């Protein structure tokens, strides 16, 4: 690890009322990597995404993107520094066409180049025929794909994907993961929340495991899979006892 990671999260805390959603969370994302964020429901994965992407500030701790602190900065400045995300609950702009959705996230080139880039990305996710239709008329799977294409539109350096494949048909899912791999080759870094462990094992170089708002394991997928704490978090103590 000679080169510092593109993203460092250091000792981040966040509480909602009495609930400690994130507790002393630290992890680092290597440049041009694909990192998986896993953990049971309610373990703080989406909260961590929200804090990192600037939806709300952490109570304590540092978040550093490309060497610059971003904790507490508004979401739009974080996005303009190259960190963009998708949402678990889809957030496309319904009364705007697919193409317009793409252009909102445009990086600020000239209009023609932006349009070409948007259409190429829509084509890549199989939506080019629907470029001029309103997103409100799309099926759930199509909106997921649109959101995925849109997140790549600004040419981000770091992308956070919150369950991008949920509700997408299996064939399109494969395309989606291969786009992730290609974009990584082109220099983009990904952090992915995804429940399908088979996908995470093959796609990610590193996994970070959260439970009750704490990082309980971190490392290459094979190592994490053998980690006792992780097995316990996922299957519970009873399952472990039953094994004995």
- Return the residue of 111, 202, 237, 241 that touches other proteins, per CB under 8 A: 111
Taking the complex as a whole, how short is the minimal distance between the CB of residue 100 and other proteins, in angstroms?
6
Taking the complex as a whole, how short is the minimal distance between the CB of residue 79 and other proteins, in angstroms?
3
User: Please, what sign has the CA dihedral across residues 154, 158, 161, 162?
Assistant: negative
- By CB atoms closer than 10 A (0-12, 13-18, 19+), residue 222 is exposed
Write each residue from 21 to 60 as x if it is in contact with other proteins (CB under 8 A), else as -, in one continuous string.
--------------------------------xxx-----
- Tell me which DSSP letter residue 215 carries: E
How do 158-162 and 189-193 pair as beta strands?
parallel
Residue 132: how many other CB atoms lie within 10 Å: 9
Q: Which of the residues 67 through 106 are near other proteins (CB under 8 A)? A: 74-77, 79-80, 84-85, 87, 91-97, 100, 103-106
- Tell me which DSSP letter residue 133 carries: S
Q: Which is nearer to other proteins, 17 or 170 (CB)?
A: 17
Q: Which of the residues 191 through 220 are near other proteins (CB under 8 A)? A: none
Using CA atoms in the order 127, 184, 181, 183, what is the torsion angle rounded to 10 degrees? 20
Q: Which is nearer to other proteins, 108 or 170 (CB)?
A: 108
Taking alpha carbons only, the member of 36, 33, 29 closest to residue 6 is 29
Buried b or exposed e, range 169-205, using 16+ CB within 10 angstroms: eeebbebbbebbeebbeeebbbbbbbeeeebbeebbe
Taking the complex as a whole, how short is the minimal distance between the CB of residue 153 and other proteins, in angstroms?
8
Q: Which is nearer to other proteins, 112 or 171 (CB)?
A: 112
Q: Which is nearer to other proteins, 151 or 224 (CB)?
A: 151
Q: Which of the residues 139 through 198 are near other proteins (CB under 8 A)? A: 150, 154
Q: Which is nearer to other proteins, 106 or 231 (CB)?
A: 106
- By CB atoms closer than 10 A (0-12, 13-18, 19+), residue 214 is middle
Taking the complex as a whole, how short is the minimal distance between the CB of residue 216 and other proteins, in angstroms?
28
Q: Which is nearer to other proteins, 149 or 209 (CB)?
A: 149
Taking the complex as a whole, how short is the minimal distance between the CB of residue 53 and other proteins, in angstroms?
6
Long-range contacts of 69-73 (CB under 8 A, 24+ apart): 71/12
Residues 151, 114 contacting (CB under 8 angstroms):
no
Q: Which is nearer to other proteins, 85 or 206 (CB)?
A: 85
* Interacting residues toward other proteins by CB under 8 A: 53-55, 74-77, 79-80, 84-85, 87, 91-97, 100, 103-106, 108, 111-112, 132, 150, 154
């Amino acid at each position: 690890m000679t080169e510092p990671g593109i993203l460092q999260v250091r000792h981040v805390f966040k509480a909602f009322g009495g609930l400690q959603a994130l507790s002393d969370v630290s992890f680092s994302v290597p440049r041009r990597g694909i990192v998986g964020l896993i953990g049971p429901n309610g373990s703080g994965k989406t909260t961590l995404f929200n804090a990192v992407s600037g939806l709300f500030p952490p109570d304590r701790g540092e978040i550093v993107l490309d060497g610059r602190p971003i904790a507490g900065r508004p979401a739009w400045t974080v996005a303009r520094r190259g960190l963009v995300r998708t949402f678990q609950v889809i957030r496309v702009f319904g009364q705007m066409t697919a193409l317009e959705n793409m252009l909102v996230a445009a990086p600020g080139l000239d209009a023609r180049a932006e349009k070409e880039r948007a259409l190429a990305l829509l084509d890549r996710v199989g939506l080019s025929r629907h470029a001029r239709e309103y997103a409100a008329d799309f099926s759930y799977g199509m909106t997921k794909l649109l959101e995925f294409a849109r997140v790549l539109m600004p040419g981000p350096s770091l992308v956070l994907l919150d369950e991008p494949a949920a509700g997408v048909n299996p064939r399109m899912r494969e395309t989606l993961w291969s786009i992730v791999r290609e974009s990584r080759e082109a220099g983009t870094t990904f952090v992915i929340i995804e429940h399908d462990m088979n996908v995470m094992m093959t796609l990610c170089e590193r996994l970070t495991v959260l439970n009750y708002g704490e990082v309980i394991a971190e490392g290459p997928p094979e190592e994490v899979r053998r980690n006792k704490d992780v097995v316990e978090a996922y299957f519970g103590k009873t399952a472990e006892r039953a094994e004995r």
